[in-house]
A and B are shown apart, each in its own frame.
Chain A
């Protein structure tokens, strides 16, 4: 529970709002319980045929409680939702703040699917407050109040209510968790596994159709489907058992109170009116409990989410900025690598002892097969990760500065990046470009696009620069995406540019043209082109074979990080 507890305490936003929501919730739920108690009193007293005036207070109380229940509930929901939106915002901001320190290079957030799951986790945790904690707190407070009232009327009935409510609130969820907790934890991974198999079959569907093997593949899928169904059924079995225990607890309390109350009436300890109140009032308490307990079933999943969140929050910064920055003299700069060894934080060395000087204005090709650690090298050059050994220096006439003595943002204003998988934001073309230079005019954007040969593409777009480029740039081809990323680098004006696998997502015919355009677009910059296709580099480029720097037996060591 400690991870959940930390998440709970982390959000300070709107504590008074939570308190207010709690008070309003207690008033609303309390009104419902009062309504049940007073109606019981009203009817049994009326049956004794007293003067009508005698009932007036109760009649007014019934109406007030009835109206109060609705009105308090309305405000409780408003205040509670407002507070939970604030919590969601707090969590997201905290996450973005951490991610800003961790990506790329994070151990806990390495792969894309983990990232998506993580974002969903955060959204799910925000629900914790409004759907689980607030109703649970309200129910506990109101139940305690009800126990006090019932206990003061007939102590033994108070005891019965405590027992039955405790069983319904604590034992029932515990039983269902004991029965299906482990299955519940398996549902998400099994759904994931099913989804993965499904994707394989969908990807191969055409081939399977040609080979007449669709049914066989579906059979394979069915077995995953069946085991998923079995797990889901076990979860439902446990949830049903919990519900049954709660119903039994409420019923046992009712029967016991009825029996004890009847004996108390027989012995003259209480009158009939009190009997009706102590028997009927607990029913409304159990109605509250029945709404809360199913939510408790989500706790294990939420705990897993919270643990993942905490793991990310606790992960140390991938790179620590120096507290006092060295001065960076005026450029132009040569880029000098001295005995550089790179690897992901905490991982093995992928490339060793790389020494090289890229003089200002020249282009160097760093070449090696996939999986060698080329993307790690790019991340190190951009100061997204620390070198495992050696140094990267910016050398000007005034002297050399080690980039680890500079803030990351400063380094990246000098060394630009054209990433292998540059992200295209779900926004307009202009917004995607302006992140490289917010002050750029529309004309500057257009000319950057024409430098990377995207002018025809721009003309074909329905709204020009204001056209949306869709989720993950899905309306763009691999080559267009790569060119857009290149246009950003053109705009950014960074004098040194690291280009990581520019032709990775482009087919063969396009690759040559892209490489040629790239080299001419950035002709005035210092360029480091990292690629596994040396044949595409222009002939004048100095090529360094990275394979010579790989430790023995390391090829393909970490395919997931490229």
Chain B
């Protein structure tokens, strides 16, 4: 595993200043550690040499200011590392969400969408540990040994050489042992995650288990699986913890080498007390941060893994390449020929060589059992997914162009669409309607609501996720929004599901009015009333 992923700097550019500040503060801490040790060694040696505290005050004042500076830096570093994490998280989240707009309509991309939701909705918080714990420690691990060595070279060459010879052993051993333990560690986290998942599965499925008389057996089963997990995990931990033991012993032996050497040279008189004290104060500091980097292994691994997943999503090929052609206005007809869309893990494409024609002024119903690719047909028509084979030709007046060449934004400006569960944001009905046409007047909004069979006050408020609207009202709000658009192509996905017969008739009248004004209308539906009202029915198989 790489300690730093350079893509973090490019994908989350806004976090770079805060990262630089974090690094600079870390470097300052490294220097101050050495300064503090030097002051302390000097002070103690001075008191012992002078047999008292004469002339100590200036040293203590400097020492106190070093302490104060370290306190301030600790504070600032916490704030700056958090800032770096927050900015990186929010930039990555934003890119993920922007990116997912293109995959959202495509049912075959449900897994990717779930991945985006889990990452942006919390998975990226793992970066907190990476920025807040791992990164500062990593900086210390680089800066402190260098600062210590520089100081030791100036004061006590023998100790400096001892440290410089033994110090590289630590990272070497860390890599060697780390290789071995990384896999064990990963396995352990994996097992832990599986166990937690199993536990959640049991808790969620408890009503089902109880219905079949299996509820009372569950505590023992959970206990048994937890016990099995403990036994196997302890076996791997016995080996995994050996690595820290080795590192600990290595560092201790190195410090002991320095200390004993210093002691013997002091007895010989070859060294003064201040230098000796400084050497034994500094030597452990050189090893400490290196060892602690290992302790934050998990923070770093979890953070980088989350970032890795985000990059993988961001680097995926878009499901459709954007074209350049504009879309003229005017009555439109669409001809879809031999459209096939393949789905991972499924033998047969859905749709499989489907043909569909919708002309200006007509209402076409698209029917067929679930799984035959109705939603994929819509996704293709919306330009949100390229078909694996087949073509979509748009005819406007005499002009005819392929959807693949069309600029997506221009295409979208000439269509309107109502999803099965239309998007509703917190706010008024007017806010939600103006998504389709920001410039619409209040009267136009009222008119659209009335025609969609939702004669309601435009300043009625709804909460997040359509709280306050019934499923049927939500669909009619979506329809009203589509009507407002006066688009050349109108796509409706199950617009009348869950509506009573009278309201269904109102909705169908509004749909018919769209085709009467010249729009080409495609309705996906099973409802007999809708199929009866359509000019033609195309059934997918």
Which residues does chain A contribute within 8 Å of B140, judged by CB atoms?
none
Given contacts A74-B244, A194-B121, A265-B48, contact A213 B60 (CB under 8 A): no
A44, B277: Cβ atoms closer than 8 Å: yes
The reply to whether A202 and B245 contact each other, CB–CB distance below 8 Å, is no
Q: Which of A63, A119, A276 contacts B196 (CB 8 A)?
A: A119
Does chain A have a CB within 8 A of B43? yes
Closest to A230 in B: B86
Q: How far is the CB of B487 from chain A (nearest CB, A)?
A: 9
9-residue interface stretch from A82-90, A300-308, A387-395: A82-90
Q: Which residues of A have CB within 8 Å of B252?
A: 35, 66-67, 69-70
B513 sits at the interface (CB 8 A):
no
A251–B64 CB distance below 8 A? yes
Within 8 Å CB of A122, what residues of B? 199
Q: Point out the residues of chain A lying under 8 angstroms from B13, CB to CB.
A: none
Do A100 and B370 contact each other (CB < 8 Å), given the known contacts A85-B233, A208-B101, A248-B67? Answer: no
A247 to B527, CA, bound (A): 71
- Which residues of B sit under 8 angstroms from A42, Cβ to Cβ? 259, 263
A residues less than 8 Å from B260 (CB atoms): 59, 62
Among the listed stretches A136-144, A149-157, A405-413, A541-549, which one makes contact with chain B, having 4 or more residues with CB under 8 Å of it?
Answer: A405-413
Q: What secondary structure prevails in chain A residues at the interface with B?
A: helix
Q: Given the interface contacts A195-B121, A217-B425, does A100 sit within 8 Å of B416 by beta carbon? A: no
Whether B213 contacts A201 by the Cβ 8 Å rule is no
**Measured between alpha carbons, how far is A29 from B304 in the docked complex, in Å?**
32
Q: Given A43-B263, A196-B465: A251 and B97 within 8 A (CB)? A: no
CA distance A436 to B202 in the complex (A): 15
* Residue pair A96, B218 in contact (C-beta under 8 Å): yes
How far is it, in angstroms, between the C-alpha of A384 and the C-alpha of B417 when the chains are bound?
Answer: 44
Given A71, A100, A435, which contacts B245 in the complex, CB threshold below 8 Å?
Answer: A71
Which of B144-152, B178-186, B224-232, B388-396 participates in binding chain A? B224-232
- B43 to chain A minimum Cβ distance, whole angstroms, is 6
Beta-carbon contact of B78 and A236 below 8 Å: yes
| Residues of A264-293 whose CB lies within 8 A of B | 265-267, 272, 275-276, 279-280
The answer to whether A419 and B369 touch (CB under 8 A), given A70-B245, A200-B464, A243-B74, is: no
A102: shortest Cβ distance to chain B, in Å? 8
By the criterion CB–CB under 8 Å, are B370 and A39 in contact? no
CB–CB B79/A205 < 8 A: no
Q: Kindly state whether residue B503 has any CB partner on chain A within 8 Å.
A: no
Q: In the complex, which of the residues A50, A119, A240, A272 has the most CB atoms of chain B within 10 Å of its own CB atom?
A: A240
Using an 8 Å CB-CB cutoff, how does the interface string of A55-72 with B read, 1 for contact, 0 for none?
Answer: 100010011001101110
Contact of B75 among A199, A216, A241 (CB under 8 A): A241
B203→A119 contact, CB < 8 A: yes
Report A447 CB to chain B, min CB distance, Å: 18
**A47, A52, A70, A200: residue with the most chain B Cβ atoms closer than 10 Å:** A47
Q: Smallest CB-CB separation from B111: which chain A residue?
A: A474
Q: Cα distance A210–B90 when bound, in Å?
A: 25
Establish whether residues B464 and A89, one from each chain, have CB atoms under 8 Å apart when the complex forms: no
Nearest chain-A residue to B409 (Cβ)?
A212
Cβ-based interface call for A163 (8 A): no
Within 8 A of A (CB), among B181-238: 196-216, 218-219, 222-223, 226-227, 229-230, 233-234, 237-238
- Considering only residues 78-137 of chain A, those with a C-beta below 8 Å from chain B are 78, 81-82, 85-86, 88-89, 92-93, 95-97, 99-100, 103-104, 112, 115-116, 118-120, 122-123
| Interface size, chain A (Cβ < 8 Å) | 135
Q: How large, as a class, is the contact surface on chain B?
A: 35 or more
**B267 in complex: contacting residue of A52, A71, A115, CB < 8 Å:** A52
CB distance from B521 to the nearest CB of A (A): 15
Picked from A67, A201, A263, A382, the residue with its CB within 8 Å of the CB of B53 is A263
- Using known A-B contacts A62-B259, A89-B223, determine if residue A49 contacts B67 with beta carbons closer than 8 Å: no
With contacts A116-B200, A207-B417, A248-B71 taken as known, whether A93 is within 8 angstroms of B223 at the C-beta atoms is yes
**B461 interface hit (Cβ, 8 Å):** no
Residues of A within 8 A of B234 (CB): 78, 81-82, 85
Q: Are B209 and A66 in contact, with the CB atoms below 8 A?
A: no
Task: Establish whether residues A409 and B74, one from each chain, have CB atoms under 8 Å apart when the complex forms.
Answer: no
Indicate if the CB atoms of A255 and B203 lie closer than 8 Å: no
Contact B229 A85, beta carbon cutoff 8 Å: yes
Contacts of A217 in B (CB 8 A): 423, 425
Q: B451 within 8 Å of A by Cβ?
A: no
Residue A443 at the B interface, CB < 8 A? no
**In contact, A208 and B435 (Cβ under 8 angstroms):** yes
With A and B bound together, what is the CA distance between A410 and B194 in angstroms?
33
User: With A93-B223, A202-B113, A236-B79 known to touch, is A254 a contact of B266 (CB < 8 Å)?
Assistant: no
Stretch at the interface among A218-226, A325-333, A360-368: A218-226
Known: A81-B237, A123-B196. A202 touches B116 (CB 8 A): yes
Docked CA distance A265–B382 (Å): 86
Give chain A interface residues in 178-208, CB to chain B under 8 Å: 191, 194-208
B83 at the interface (CB under 8 A from A): yes
A265 proximity list for chain B (CB < 8 A): 47-48, 51-53
The reply to whether B78 and A240 contact each other, CB–CB distance below 8 Å, is: yes
Contact of A357 with B by CB under 8 A: no
Inter-chain CA distance A214–B408, complex, in Å, is: 13
Tell yes or no: B510 within 8 A of A by CB: no
Nearest Cβ in chain B — how far from A82, in angstroms? 6
The answer to whether B382 and A252 have CB atoms under 8 Å apart is no
Q: Which residues of B contact A40 (CB under 8 A)?
A: 277, 280
Residue of A at shortest CB range from B104?
A205
In the complex, which residues of chain A have a beta carbon less than 8 angstroms from the beta carbon of B200? Answer: 115-116, 119
User: Once the chains are docked, how many angstroms separate the CA of A217 from the CA of B435?
Assistant: 9
Cβ contacts under 8 Å, A423 to chain B:
201, 204-205, 207-208
A426 at the interface (CB under 8 A from B): yes
A557 touches B (CB below 8 Å): no
- Flag whether B276 is at the interface (Cβ < 8 A): yes
Q: Which of A1-9, A18-26, A505-513, A519-527 contacts B (4 or more CB under 8 A)?
A: A505-513
A85 touches B273 (CB 8 A): no
Query: Are A435 and B67 closer than 8 Å at their CB atoms?
Result: no
Q: Known contacts being A92-B199, A244-B75, is A103 close to B67, with CB within 8 Å?
A: no
The verdict on A245 contacting chain B, using a C-beta distance below 8 Å, is yes
**Smallest CB separation, A492 vs chain B (Å):** 6
Residue of A with least CB distance to B116:
A202
Chain B residues whose CB sits within 8 angstroms of the CB of A96 once the complex forms: 199, 202-203, 206, 218-219, 222
Residue B98 lies at the interface, judged by CB distance under 8 Å to chain A: yes
Interface residues of B in 56-77 (CB under 8 A from A): 56, 60, 63-64, 66-68, 70-72, 74-77
Known: A78-B237, A212-B413. A218 touches B213 (CB 8 A): no
Task: Tell me if A62 and B256 are in contact (CB < 8 A).
Answer: yes
Complex: A453 Cα to B467 Cα, angstroms: 38
Cross-chain contact A492 with B67 (CB below 8 angstroms): no
Whether the Cβ atoms of B370 and A115 lie closer than 8 Å is no
Complex partner residue of A214 from B98, B255, B526, CB under 8 angstroms: B98
Does A73 touch B at the CB level, under 8 Å?
yes
User: Chain A residues with Cβ under 8 A from B104's Cβ?
Assistant: 202-206, 209
Whether B78 and A214, one on each chain, are in contact in the complex, defined by CB atoms closer than 8 angstroms, is no
Of B208, B268, B371, which is in contact with the most chain A CB atoms at under 10 Å from its CB?
B208
| Alpha-carbon gap, A100 to B226, bound state (A) | 18
Cβ of A213: which chain B residues have Cβ within 8 Å of it?
435-436
B424 within 8 A of A: yes
> Residues of B contacting A81 with CB < 8 Å?
233-234, 237
**Chain A contacts for B94, CB-based, 8 A:** 218, 221-222, 225
Are A262 and B79 touching (Cβ within 8 A)?
no
* B122: interface (CB < 8 Å): yes
Say yes or no: is B93 at the interface (Cβ < 8 Å to chain A). Answer: yes
Q: Sample 15 A-B pairs with CB under 8 A, ordered by A number.
A: A39-B280, A49-B268, A69-B248, A73-B248, A96-B219, A100-B206, A203-B423, A205-B102, A206-B384, A207-B419, A208-B423, A210-B417, A243-B71, A244-B75, A409-B215
The 6 A-B pairs at the shortest CB distance, nearest first, are namely A204-B423, A251-B67, A266-B52, A262-B53, A206-B105, A240-B78
Given contacts A44-B277, A100-B219, A436-B212, 4 further A-B contacts (CB under 8 A): A49-B267, A198-B117, A244-B74, A409-B215
